């Protein structure tokens, strides 16, 4: 999986800073509504997904782990991957 962003930089060295950041940080990966991992770069291997439909969602987060917002909405995107039997 590749995460494509604009005006955002992954910055693992600053993860956990107490000050908020607005154009850098990390992402949170959710599979079927469950947080699976933090992402500190644009690539991640999903591994084996369960059969059927799987919702993959990624949200962008500040260095202090706060959710990044744009016009009051979370900066996130999702897609559904259908794994055949």
Mind listing the pLDDT tens digit of every residue in the chain (85 residues)? Answer: 999 999 999 988 888 788 878 899 999 999 999 999 999 999 999 999 999 999 999 999 998 888 999 999 999 999 999 999 7
Q: Is residue 7 classed as helix, strand or coil in its secondary structure?
A: coil
Cα–Cα distance measured from residue 78 to residue 64, given in angstroms and rounded to the nearest whole number: 23
Q: Could you give the angle at the alpha carbon of 16 between the alpha carbons of 76 and 21, nearest 5°? A: 55
Q: Could you give the angle at the alpha carbon of 17 between the alpha carbons of 11 and 9, nearest 5°? A: 20
Cα–Cα distance measured from residue 54 to residue 52, given in angstroms and rounded to the nearest whole number: 7
In the chain, the domains with their CATH numbers are 9-83 (2.60.40)
Nearest to 62 by CA among 30, 31, 29, 16: 16
Q: What is the pLDDT of residue 12?
A: 85
Kindly report the pTM of this predicted structure. 0.88
Q: What is the pLDDT of residue 37?
A: 95
Q: What is the pLDDT of residue 48?
A: 92
Cα–Cα distance measured from residue 70 to residue 38, given in angstroms and rounded to the nearest whole number: 20
């Amino acid at each position: 999986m590749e995460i494509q962003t604009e005006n955002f930089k992954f910055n693992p060295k600053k993860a956990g800073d107490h000050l908020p950041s607005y154009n850098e940080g990390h992402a949170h990966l959710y599979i079927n509504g469950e947080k699976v991992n933090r992402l500190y770069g644009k690539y991640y291997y999903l591994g084996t997904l369960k059969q059927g439909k799987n919702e993959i969602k990624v949200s962008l987060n500040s260095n202090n782990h706060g959710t990044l917002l744009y016009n009051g909405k979370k900066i996130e995107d999702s897609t559904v991957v259908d794994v055949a039997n």
